[in-house]
Structure 1
Amino acid sequence: MASNPPGRCCTLGIKHEGTPSGELIKVGAYDAYLAKPPADKAHTGAGILFLPDVIGIWQNSKLMADQFAANGYVTLIIDTFNGDPLPLGPRPAGFNIHEWIAKGSDGKNPHTTEAVDPIVVEGIKYLREVHGVTKLGAVGYCFGAKYVVRHYKSGIQVGYVAHPSFVEEDELAAITGPFAISAAETDTIFPAEKRHKSEEILKAAGVPYQINLFSGVEHGFAVRGDPNVKISRFAREQAFLQAVTWFDNWLL
Structure 2
Amino acid sequence: MADDEIATKAPESDAQESGPAESVFPHDSKAQDGPSMGEHCVTDRPTPSGEVPTGELTKLADVDVYIAKPSDYPHSPSKLLLLLTGGTGVNSTNNQLQADKFASEGYLVIMPDQFAGNPAPNMVDLSSADNQELSWLETGKLKLAETAKAFRIDMWLAYHTPEKVLPVLHKVIEAAKEEFADAIANGGGIYGIGYCFGARYIVILSGEHPDTVAWGQEAPKDEEQGVVKKEPVLKAGAIAHPTMVTKEELDAVKVPTYIAAVKDDPMFSEDEVLTPGRRELEKNKVEHEVRVFDGVPHGFAVLGDYDDPKIKQEQAQAYGAMLGWIQSH
Structure 1 residues 224 and 45: alpha-carbon distance in aligned structure 2, compared to 1, 3 A threshold:
closer
After the TM superposition, which of the residue ranges 83-92 and 125-134 deviates more from structure 2? 83-92
1:3-152 correspondence runs (5 A): 6-9=36-39, 10-12=41-43, 14-17=45-48, 18-39=51-72, 44=77, 46-57=79-90, 58-90=92-124, 92-95=146-149, 96=151, 97-102=153-158, 110-132=159-181, 133-134=184-185, 135-152=189-206
Structure 1 residues 6 and 36: alpha-carbon distance in aligned structure 2, compared to 1, 3 A threshold:
same
Structure 1 residues 244 and 41: alpha-carbon distance in aligned structure 2, compared to 1, 3 A threshold:
farther
Residue 244 in structure 1 maps to residue 298 in structure 2: no
Specify which structure has the higher proportion of strand.
1
Structure 1 residues 138 and 247: alpha-carbon distance in aligned structure 2, compared to 1, 3 A threshold:
same
Name the CA distance, whole Å, in 2 between partners of 1:42 and 1:222. 31
Give, as a single letter, the amino acid of the residue that structure 2 aligns with 1:7: M
CA contact (8 A) 2:300 2:315 kept: yes
Give 5+ residue unaligned stretches, structure 2: 1-13, 16-30, 125-144, 207-230
Deviations 1:191-218 (A, max 9, x none): 4434333322321231110111112101
CA contact (8 A) 2:59 2:65 kept: yes
CA contact (8 A) 1:12 1:224 kept: no
Name the CA distance, whole Å, in 1 between partners of 2:94 and 2:290. 23
Structure 2 SS opposite 1:14: coil
Deviations 1:45-82 (A, max 9, x none): 52110111011111111011000000000001100000
Give TM-score scaled by structure 1 length.
Answer: 0.87
Give 5+ residue unaligned stretches, structure 1: 103-109
Give, as a single letter, the amino acid of the residue that structure 2 aligns with 1:164: P
Identical-residue share of aligned pairs (%): 31
Structure 1 SS opposite 2:46: coil
Structure 1 residues 159 and 46: alpha-carbon distance in aligned structure 2, compared to 1, 3 A threshold:
same
Name the CA distance, whole Å, in 2 between partners of 1:154 and 1:31. 24
CA contact (8 A) 1:49 1:139 kept: yes
Residue 178 in structure 1 maps to residue 178 in structure 2: no
After the TM superposition, which of the residue ranges 134-143 and 217-226 deviates more from structure 2? 217-226
Residue 197 in structure 1 maps to residue 288 in structure 2: no
In the comparison of the two structures, how many residue pairs are matched?
Answer: 243
Name the CA distance, whole Å, in 1 between partners of 2:280 and 2:76. 31
Give, as a single letter, the amino acid of the residue that structure 2 aligns with 1:14: R
1:198-237 correspondence runs (5 A): 198-223=277-302, 226-237=305-316
